[in-house]
Chain A
Amino acid sequence: MADTPILALRGINKSFGAIQVLHDVDFNVYPGEVMALVGDNGAGKSTLVKCVGGIYGIDSGEFFFANQPVDLHSPRDAAAHGIEIVYQDLALCDNLDIVQNMFLGRELRRPLIRALDESAMERRSRETLTSLSVRTVASVRQLVSSLSGGQRQTVAIAKAVLWNNKVVLLDEPTAALGVAQTRQVLDLVRRLADNGLGVVLISHNMNDVMEVADRITALYLGRIAAEVKKADVTYSQVVELITAGRSGNIGLQPATAAESA
């Protein structure tokens, strides 16, 4: 493989009390590619994401960012390495406008008086949305409460892009969206990768995954079933990986696991 992963997880174990949720998980994110993370409910997708985001500590295992071992103990560590997570419940403030949400916690300020630099923030928000070819938003000064589900998702993703992040993890970005809005968001996901970011797409929707992903990692009961290139698998193979942990010669069989990547 020509590509080296921008973010690599090696041998991650994570337990909640007596229940081990992640078993020796290896996970890779490649720059400029969309890695779909799929798995059934309870497979450990959200836990894995939260470990990457520094929200959960891990029991054992290592993180490598651009081949360098790194510690991800807190959301701040993750943010410092340019890892951004767009959560399922979006984490936007309804009572603030798009610009205010995009810069929340990282406001630009004017020198000396330390007051908020609204002009610079508004300009940069608009540039970011424009660079992502977002055309569905009438004004960046709209309150988020007035936006549709797809527009909110767009803002949340754009927020992740604004800070020149290297890796963006999207947790079920299309789960609550209609057809047209799903289309917008998937286009956006594709553009993120085309801009050179490593994108992780967590989704239950196989159509979305097969359409936009470059690679697919399937989790099965806390173990990695397989990491495959999308081009190498069929829709039904992915479904088998999710539901049974294996499909033909790929999946959770020690002998064949090595060649699956």
Chain B
Amino acid sequence: MDTGFEEKSAWIQLVTLTVVVGGYFLVASQMHAAGVQDIRAYVPVFTVSVIALIIVMIFGHIAAVAITRNDDRDERDKVIAWRSEYLSSWIVGVGVLAGITAMVLGIDTVLVAHGLLLSLLVSELLSSSLKIVFYRRGF
């Protein structure tokens, strides 16, 4: 596959977020189903997930740099980044508003916190996916 560094980076983010943060949500949903209501109980799992995310991202990008001849960012990369972020950032806004509404309604703090985290995850997944689509299909 003929890809530049930025497209490889989008793939790394898409796969890493799906596996690591998706894995966190799987564990968290099992904990919630088992009746864990204290948000602090989720912190260790979340911390491990964030550390794993950072490590995988760092090594993934080091590998991407190593196999990419030219890792400079040009105007096309900037336009694609801007467009994909513009088209996906609204999800975080919706998530924050929904989270505030949920807090006002007195919904379980664990659900509110994970709703906010989910909106961030979905926004990032959409952003990475759009980048890949724009690189592959053009725009």
Whether chain B is bound by chain A comes out as: no
Show the binding face of B for A, using Cβ within 8 Å: none
